[in-house]
Amino acid sequence: MSPARLVAYEVLQDVEERDSYANLALPGRIRDAGLDARDAGLATELAAGALRWRGRYDRIIELSAGREIERIDARTRTVLRLGAHQLLGMRTAAHAAVNESVELQRRVGNRAAAGFVNGVLRSIGRASNDEWDARIADAATSANDARAALASHPTWIIRALQDALRAEGREAELDALLAADNDAPRVSLAILPGAGVSVAAAALAAAESGATATGPSPLGVEIGAGDPARAITASGARPGYARVQDQGSQLAALALTRVRPVRRGERWLDLCAGPGGKTAVLGAEALAAGARVRANEVSEHRAELVQRSVSGVADAVEVVSFDGRSDDAYGGEAFDRILVDAPCSGLGALRRRPEARWRKQPSDLPELTRLQAELLRQATAHLAPGGVLAYVTCSPHLAETRVTLDRLLRDHPELREIDARAVVGEVARSEIDLGGASLSVQLWPHRHGTDAMFIALVERRATGA
């Protein structure tokens, strides 16, 4: 049996049983199994593809098996999902996909169910993707049920995405967005200011990895293939000045640092800093302009990740670990710029963390929005007169974006919203298509090639203003 398939199975079980994130579980499993680059790529595609398309594959398995997916043993479900992905999502020969899946079932699951796995996968393999889509549509209980299964997104998430697009007058883009969520994202690097090499030169130096200076962020370099670590080394950037980072995340940090010219001696705060990507951008910008950054992260483990992330710009960054709702997080200071990259549902990163769509529930939102409001309220109390606060979430859900922001502005008349659209438009490498008419920015995977990052800027009116 292929060791890559066993690794993919173990990763899916880590996700199912231990609430692991696949992108964090994969490297350790690959390393422990001693997979070479080819098998590591196969394991990654198997695990990520089975997670992205789980909703669709589950419906196909139900139609093939004649029973509800929850009535199938958990280990056997995982084997069937991996087999379905090989049959319908990869170029694996049908006999190999079935035989390997049967062997996997015998090794990790109920051996008596090997015949069941064989029968279900042979049934799946007898129809094409188009034929299965037609069967899914015919068996669906409603149009929403069909769309949820075909696009492999829970219905409540589809509705949330639809509402957010409708707010921009772009509801017709829903299917394009769902498709983008199911595409593997290209890897982006951030080449930080002070790297000792221009972004264009860094991309040219790493051309062997398919690197190009493209995308909306002026710091961004996309790589097409290969090991990101190798591309970082080849870029020629100073140690700690090149890192893997989504370009939406890069733009969110740059919106705060470049909203206006920086005065030397400014004090900045990254309130929810872990794992440190945006902190690194803030630190590089601060170091170049003579500002200082306090990076706070409630989790001590994640605070250590922040410390490692800012290794190249450590002279400008102080890392602390407190609850962002406590005064300790602020060290008794008022800040000229505050980034509140609040904990959220993560619906904006479903292409990067596909398991999140199956893990999150609508019932999670009230607690998250309450936390977001509490963090914003405390941050506002520590924003200096004339200071700017950036509210950022990796979610397009309106409850976590405009609703939370509008409540903050209503409760704090001393704040006024700044035109983040204009700021991001100035910062972006090229013209950027932003929908809607609000002052805030919503980025999208299908339109911008980034995570669905929300960015808003507010200013505390100066005393007497």
**Over the stretch 216-238, which tens digit does the pLDDT of each residue have?**
999 999 998 778 999 999 999 99
Q: Is the pLDDT of residue 360 over 70?
A: yes
Mean pLDDT of 65-88: 97
28 is in an annotated binding site: no
297 annotated to a ligand binding site: yes
Q: Residue 360, annotated ligand binder?
A: no
Tokens matching residue 438:
């609000």
pLDDT above 90: percentage of residues in the chain:
94
Q: Cβ–Cβ contacts within 10 Å for residue 350, how many?
A: 28
Residue 329 assigned as binding residue = no
Q: What is the model's pLDDT at position 224?
A: 80
Claim: this prediction has a pTM higher than 0.75: yes
Q: Are strands 220-223 and 267-270 parallel, antiparallel or unpaired?
A: unpaired
Reply yes or no on whether the pLDDT at 465 is more than 70: no
Would you state the structure tokens that stand for residue 182, as one six-digit string? 């199911």
Rounded-to-integer distance, Cα 346 and Cα 354, Å? 10
Q: In the structure, how many helices (H) and strands (E) does the chain have?
A: 21, 11
pLDDT at residue 56 is higher than 80: yes
Determine whether the annotation assigns residue 323 to a binding site. Answer: yes
**What does the alpha-carbon distance between residue 432 and residue 2 come to, in Å, rounded to a whole number?**
45
* pLDDT higher than threshold 80 for residue 386: yes
**Lowest mean pLDDT, pick from 12-26, 72-86, 130-144, 337-351:** 12-26
274 marked ligand binding residue: yes
* Bridge partner list, 292: 267
Decide: residue 107, CB within 10 A, 0-12 exposed, 13-18 middle, 19+ buried: middle
Q: Is 10 within any annotated ligand binding site? A: no
**Count of residues making up the chain:** 465
Rounded to an integer, what distance in angstroms lies between the CA atom of residue 111 and that of residue 463? 74
Q: Please identify which residue in the block is written with the tokens 């300790």.
A: 328
Mean pLDDT for all residues in the chain: 96
CA distances 193 to 190, 205, 212, 219, Å, are 9, 17, 18, 8
Mind listing the domains of the chain with CATH numbers? 3-149 (1.10.940.10), 187-244 (no CATH), 247-460 (3.40.50.150)
Question: Is 344 labeled as catalytic in the residue annotation?
Answer: no
Of residues 302, 240, 294, the one with CA closest to residue 266:
294
Specify the DSSP class assigned to residue 241.
S
- Give the position of tokens 């090989």: 86
Output the pLDDT for position 98.
Answer: 97
Residue 337 makes CB contacts below 8 A (sequence gap 6+) with: 256, 257, 259, 266, 268, 269, 291, 387, 388, 389, 390
**Helix %, strand %, coil % of the chain (to 5):** 55, 10, 30
Helix (H) or strand (E) holding 458: strand 454-460
Q: What is the pLDDT of residue 227?
A: 81
Alpha-carbon gap, residue 323 to 410, rounded angstroms: 25
Burial 152-187 (b: 16+ CB within 10 A, else e): bbbebbbebbbebbebbebeebbeebbebbbeebbb
| Residue listed under structure tokens 């951008």 | 281
Question: Mean pLDDT throughout 280-296?
Answer: 98
How high is the pLDDT of residue 117?
98
348 vs 394: CA distance, rounded Å: 5
Residue-wise pLDDT for 314-325, tens only, equals 999 999 999 999
The per-residue pLDDT for 464 is 55
10 Å CB burial of residue 109 (0-12, 13-18, 19+) is: buried
Q: For residue 227, give both structure tokens.
A: 């090991």
User: What are the tens digits of pLDDT across the range 147-205?
Assistant: 999 999 999 999 999 999 999 999 999 999 999 999 988 899 999 999 999 999 999 99
pLDDT at position 268 is 98
Mean pLDDT confidence for 433-460: 97
Minimum mean pLDDT among 220-234, 319-333, 411-425: which range?
220-234
pLDDT given for residue 97 in this prediction: 97
| Residue from 50, 394, 420, 456 carrying the catalytic annotation | 394
Number of Cβ within a 10 Å radius of residue 82: 24
In this structure, are residues 368 and 404 in contact, taking their beta carbons and an 8 Å threshold? no
The rounded distance, in Å, linking the Cα atoms of 205 and 233 is 9
pLDDT of residue 7: 97
Each residue's pLDDT tens digit, 157-169 = 999 999 999 999 9
Is 270 annotated as a binding-site member?
A: no
